[in-house]
A and B are shown apart, each in its own frame.
Chain A
């Protein structure tokens, strides 16, 4: 258990987590990060099945990636949506993902960075 006893502890922990996310700690490469948007709207549209499918398939196909279950992005009209961030690249969001689409995303985008139909362009600015 990592109890935070001082502001310095919190800031240290933050830096450690960031370093770990970027793979610096283990000296390994930064991994592909896949976010499966699983709020109520995502789950209702079947994001659980996509989360399971992606997790399984990545393991089967020997792809070292981090799969994260997050809340919804707000694109209810295109759920389930998943977001893929390749190291050093901007995140790309795909909408209306079914298993077939997820397979295509893994084979083309996650493996090779090749785009597939169904990208949802970023239509917002984030404050960070």
Chain B
């Protein structure tokens, strides 16, 4: 069978499908048949176009014409006009609401394509275990440019002018960090790549290392040249076996090709990279703890100053950057600081990779310019909330961050706006929650994590977080009081103010942020002893609606603790003092007679 002359692509993403995408496919197929075009025209269902607000989307190939907000009834016109007569259906083309300009092709609609890939430029495109593919995609070109055409100061200036800020969470100017490390004179200096990605639900660093390890190696060498370091270390968690394996291969190949060695490309610059393994402790993402862990000591943070740029690994000046930060470096060197500076918002430049997780349709990795709104991320790229439920909150910054709510949907996401909203950028995990999620439980979940991960060195973090967690535990069990809410807040503020490192200084954020944005939920837990989302097991009660119950005994038979009694064909009863709230009865009931209240 030969290739058909034309293709009609219909978006089968969840957003568009919910808007009768299926009937559009059927109608188009019928119309194609009605015009006896089956041999020339093919109707294909596709995944999400990322244009959900304009959906349902239909695209005609060749020509890449995009029709927006297509209804099943439009199928005839599309086939008869566009396919048969070759005339575009004007009324279905996208019209810009401001300029009223009509866009007819996909290429013209690039302003609607929210994602821009700088960090992920080669991920999924090159073979990470073959250095030649990376070289063909311009890897090591930026290093060559820096080594042959630039003084270290010039390269640092480019990075500084580009406005690149640390992607690990802190958001400190990368160029400035390099400059400080350069100024501190020493016979030995180190470049460290922080690949200890610890936030639950974040996996952007892993994906970069698995998809494009040379981007990181090259940037580390550039940094080495800038700060006059000859040695690079990558601190990576052993839980990332694939990333470790691909990094090892990449390092070995770079050495073999003479791109990591003494006298690189005859320029007299020496640089070598080694891998150091972490055991997966969250606190080791903090740079001083990370350095101690690399030195073979306990992964505990120390007071700054001295900063690593003054006295870091083995007491020598050390520059620590995150994987994603390094991955931005080569394109900046090649394309210039102005190019990078034009992307993003006033104070946050470039793009950010987010790991979308939780109750969202298109779970995965995305990269958007800074300043993209949460609404665009969730509804345009993420395909909306799963099962058509209502958006409740998005947690950014993992256990150190906070929640963004409905009122933040249109806030441009950048370092400063997130902090103003009581959250933080963190490494870029973005967990989406819907109406079924209990915010007290969410705060408890993150606290559980920090209690587990606290290194125990300072008491505010070690003891304070434990007490916070206990309070939350009480509240979710219905044993809290209004005074506990004040206690939660006070204690959180004390922990933030007095903890030694970033872990403790940010660990109460999930509590403070949920308390601020969802106080009514906390109040419902302590005053009404109810969990509005129906998540806290101790606060819910299974109940049989007598009118709906037909007395089939199915629930009584499935109950593991015999809490349900009742005669056959008579309404049954659940004894709440025996019930363990396992939910088996509710699942079994065919008559919707069992509810949670």
Contacts and interface: CB of A to CB of B under 8 A. Distances in A.
Contacts of B133: 17, 68
Contact of A77 (B7, B114, B361): B361
Contacts of A21: 136
Nearest to B50: A123
Given A4-B258, A5-B266, A70 B113 contact: no
B263 to A, nearest CB: 9
A76 B362 CA distance: 7
B324 interface: no
Interface residues of B, number: 75
A10 B127 CA distance: 18
A63 interface: no
Residue among B11, B124, B137 with the highest chain A CB neighbour number at 10 A: B124
B110 A121 contact: no
A6 B120 contact: no
A78 interface: yes
B117 A125 contact: yes
Interface stretch (B160-168, B205-213, B413-421): B205-213
A123 B381 contact: yes
Contacts of B362: 75, 77-78
B115 A124 contact: yes
A9 interface: yes
B45 interface: yes
Nearest to B10: A117
A49 interface: no
A28 to B, nearest CB: 18
A74 B364 contact: yes
Given A43-B242, A115-B44, A124-B115, A73 B123 contact: yes
Those 4 A-B pairs whose CB atoms lie nearest each other, nearest first = A71-B211, A123-B50, A73-B124, A124-B115
Given A40-B242, A123-B115, A125-B110, 12 more contacts: A7-B265, A40-B243, A69-B129, A72-B210, A72-B365, A74-B207, A76-B365, A77-B364, A114-B2, A115-B4, A123-B48, A127-B117
5 contacts: A10-B141, A71-B128, A115-B61, A118-B46, A123-B51
Interface of B: 1-4, 7, 9, 11-12, 42, 44-51, 59, 61, 110, 113-118, 120-121, 123-129, 132-133, 135-138, 140-141, 144, 147-148, 203, 206-208, 210-212, 240, 242-243, 246, 256-259, 265-267, 331, 335, 361-367, 381, 383
Interface of A: 1-7, 9-11, 13-14, 17-18, 21, 35, 37, 39-41, 43, 68-78, 83, 95, 108, 112-121, 123-128
